[in-house]
Chain A
Amino acid sequence: MLKYILKRLILLIFTLFLVITATFFLMQIMPGTPFNNPKLTPEMIAQLNKAYGLDLPLWHQYLNYMINATHGDFGTSFQYQNQSVGMLIGQRLPISAQLGAQALVIGVIAGLFMGAISARNKNNKIDGTLGVVSTLGISVPSFILAIILLYLFGFKWPLFPVSGWGDSFSESVLPTIALAVGPAAIVTRFVRSEMIEALSSDYVQLARAKGLSEKEIVNKHAYRNSMIPVLTLIGPMAAGLLTGSTLIENIFSIPGIGQQFVSSIPTKDFPVIMGTTIVYALMLMVMILITDILTAIVDPRVRLQ
């Protein structure tokens, strides 16, 4: 087990290195300069490039970046003058992560419940209704839902604040719901099909034959086993949610990292693009690793190698 984790970690570092390298060179294809002022003449741009070391040959810039990065220095933003990338991300990531974690917890719990209810009422009205609801939840994009929530609970019945972050918990309610519905719907569908399969499996038949109560069968046997595949789903979902949703952050003016990532691209803010890409890549890989390990713990049939 330990050997496996170590092996995966080495692979992770190698992948990260590839991601950094690819992003660094792909960025060069983008047009223009990282300077915001459109009035700069070519001479002024040349002077600024010199001041920021952007006039060096590409391999040299790459080397500098890699050396600094290994020392934990990811550069300074061009757009946010003087702000280090570490600080920008360090302040924004926790906000996105909190929002994502809230959405994930609510989404997964709701999904587990609805999935189980759906499976136990297979093909009757409750199942049908939940089926429609979860299909809607999967197909309606979170930003559309966000706008609907904003209109209903922000303006029509002003129960919750419509923008901002950090003053009170209530500010996070609407964005959390908007983000949670998608995962909830996906988990519902997943749990439903897994559970229906589990309920007709041999070991449940055996449990029934043993004369266990339906409640015990569902809770002890069917539910537990149908949760294993959900685990594999949560990993990538968590990576996506924790690293922020650009659109939701924009709609509710939440100063998270998703917003930062998108605004850094058209402004060609090199260090921020690099920094956020690294965070995204790292988050995804770590989540997948954790999922793999957890799956092995929960399901003894899976052998790590």
Chain B
Amino acid sequence: MDTWKKWAIGAAVVVVAGAGTRAAGLWGGSNGSDKDTLNLTFPTPIQTLDISKNTDQYSGTVIGNTGSNLLRVNAKGKTVPDLAKSVKVSKDGLTYTATLRSGLKYSDGSKLTAEDFVYSWQRIVNPKTASQYAYLSSGVKNADAIVAGKEDVKNLGVKADGNKVVFTLERPLPQFEYLLTFANFMPQKQSFVEKQGKKYGTTSAKQIYSGPYKFEGWNGTNNKFKMVKNDNYWDAKSVKTKEITWQVIQKPETAVQLYKQGKLDRTTISDTPELYKANKNNKDVVKQPEATTSYIEYNQTGKNKFLANTKIRQALNLATNRKELTDQVTSGISTAATGLAPEGLAKTASGKDLAAYVAPGYKYDATAAAKLFAEGLKEVGETKMSFTITTDADSPAGKSTLDYLKGSMEKALPGLTVNEKFVPFKQRLSDSQTQNFDAVVSLWGGDYPEGSTFYDLFKDGASYNNGQFKNSAYTKAVEKAETTDALNASARDEDYKEAEAALYKDANINPLYFRSKYALSRSNVKDIIINTTGLNMDLKYAYRK
């Protein structure tokens, strides 16, 4: 009996180990140097393929590469025709007319028509869909009223006319051409969506694809799937890669190891400062700005009398050493902020980076800060000040950021006490919206490559103005950009510059850093387009040389 058992177990162990290693060998051999295949990774599982309802960046990467819109953003950040042959804008900027290419088809062979665009726009604003990105359509005729349930979906300013899609706007929208590239507005076939019903977009079989690739092998929860070249795509001849395999790898260290073994072609290394430090000297490192700014909002409702004082806010801003902050807290992954609009967000009319152009001159000057601080304290009639900064408890950088700010501000400004408060992300959002804070570290990412995605934040009465300050020079400049200068790019650049200067002068906010990512990217894999807003990673032209 005993010996029999021993033999059985021994045999089982041998079988397990043998099968394991053999399968491992097979597994290891399939990936790698195949010329027609790219191997990529996501750090979290895919959530949905529902075009109108998606909110997740990585699901958006799938939707954006397996779908197409009227326009597409090219490597220079400009829009070029995709499913549309041309998009014409009326002189007043209120009518956009897109003419579709002929013979457009989905991956299943069904026809792609102008009606599919109308349906997609109607679907996202329909309150029944409850899309969290419905607000992006604001400015299209009746969109806001439809979202609020006050107007019929049929009256949306998006109509089909033969092979043309006609958009009617309520006001000129400088960003509108970029909305015509967005994944959330890609065409959807009504008959298909309705046939799938509640299951629409829940697996790769429950979606049809209008883009460079088809999506295969996703059952709704699994972690390995692939994109396969879509031969029905109008520009299939430009798609050089036949297959892109994806696997979800949640441990960034594992992904980096697989990259080094040649099993992945690209992976991020900036998830933790340690991982970044260990890999930053690798020759394959590429920088990937995120068009996201981290900034402190000061509560200026009068709830904290110190922060209602301009000189004190100016002092706090001057006492913030942004360079040292990014070096110490993020090991140099992020860049010191130069204003509200982040680097890599948008280009000026003359092709410069908007952030660099509008930068009002935020700097670190402890002496000037201490002087302003003393004057400010006198104005409010106090000799000491204390306030609390709130940040996310669930963000790894939260604690170290606050520790740094506390230390450096208290050192530069005698008589100041900074208290730290950590709350969960969702709590921070609701605290911010209800002004339940003295100062709060906020994070904002752009939706489209145009200044207004940031400058809309602090207009008078804007719902994102958590500090509830009023800066009339700022509001005036931003409104000018969005009305009189809406069709004049270079005048808009000037307006945004003025707006930044107004924010700087009153020290209404304190920009800390621009968030960036770093990645390892195989040098023989060419033409991956990285966008800071919209489709994060465009693989249409990507290929292995």
A residues apposed to B, CB below 8 Å: 30-33, 35-44, 47-48, 50-52, 76, 79-84, 87-88, 91-92, 109, 113, 150, 154-155, 158-171, 173, 215, 219, 250-251, 253-255, 259, 266, 268
Contacts and interface: CB of A to CB of B under 8 A. Distances in A.
Nearest to A46: B148
A154 B24 CA distance: 10
B28 A173 contact: no
A48 B109 CA distance: 35
7 contacts: A31-B424, A35-B132, A42-B463, A80-B220, A87-B202, A159-B21, A160-B21
Contact of B20 (A44, A51, A160): A160
Contacts of B132: 35-37, 40, 44, 48
Interface of B: 1-2, 9, 16, 19-24, 26-28, 45, 47-48, 50, 53-56, 127-128, 130, 132-135, 147-149, 198-202, 219-224, 247-251, 254, 257-258, 261, 394, 423-427, 429-430, 433, 443, 447, 463-464
Contact of A250 (B24, B250, B429, B443): B250
Contact of B254 (A43, A163, A165): A163
For the complex of A and B, 6 pairs with smallest distance between CB atoms:
A32-B426, A51-B130, A31-B427, A168-B23, A170-B23, A81-B48
Contacts of A81: 47-48, 50, 53-55, 201
Contact of A91 (B219, B258, B261, B425): B219
A163 B424 contact: no
A254 B423 CA distance: 30
Contacts of A162: 254, 257-258
A87 B200 CA distance: 13
A164 B130 contact: no
B198 A161 contact: no
Contacts of A44: 132, 134-135, 147
Nearest to A76: B198
B247 A253 contact: yes
A257 to B, nearest CB: 9
Contacts, number: 172
B426 A159 contact: no
A81 B193 CA distance: 14
Contact of B147 (A39, A47, A159): A47
B453 to A, nearest CB: 10
Given A36-B132, A253-B249, A150 B219 contact: no
Contact of B45 (A32, A33, A168, A255): A255
A47 B143 CA distance: 14
B273 to A, nearest CB: 19
Contact of A88 (B220, B223, B430): B220
B48 A173 contact: no
B429 A163 contact: no
Contacts of B222: 91, 165-166, 255
B202 A83 contact: yes
A266 B394 contact: yes
Given A41-B463, A173-B20, A91 B426 contact: no
A39 to B, nearest CB: 7
Residue of B16, B247, B430 with most chain A CB atoms under a 10 A cut-off: B16
Nearest to B424: A31
